[in-house]
Amino acid sequence: MQKQILDACCGSRMFWFNKQNPDVLFIDKRAESHDIDIGTPGTIGRKPVVIAPDFIADFTNMPFPSESFVHVVFDPPHLTSSGTGIINKKYGELNGDWREMLRKGFSECFRVLKINGTLIFKWATTQYPASEILRLTPYKPLYGHLSGKKSTTHWIAFVKQE
pLDDT at position 86 over 80 = no
Residue 74's identity, in one-letter code, is: F
Is the overall model pTM greater than 0.85, yes or no? yes
Average pLDDT over residues 57-72: 97
What is d(CA 116, CA 10) in angstroms, rounded to the nearest whole number?
A: 23
How far is residue 156's CA from residue 55's CA, in Å, rounded to a whole number?
25
How sure is the predictor about 96, in pLDDT bands with cuts at 50, 70 and 90? confident
The overall average pLDDT reported for the chain is 90
Residues 19, 66: Cα–Cα separation, whole Å: 25
- CATH number of the domain encompassing residue 34: 3.40.50.150
pLDDT of residue 150: 66
Question: Rg of the chain's alpha carbons, rounded to an integer?
Answer: 16
Pairwise pLDDT comparison (5 vs 42), residue with the higher score: 5
- Mean pLDDT over 8-27 rounds to 95
Residue 65 DSSP one-character state: -
Q: Which residue has the higher pLDDT, 31 or 81?
A: 31
Look up the domain containing 125 and give its range: 5-159
- How many domains does the structure of the chain reveal? 1
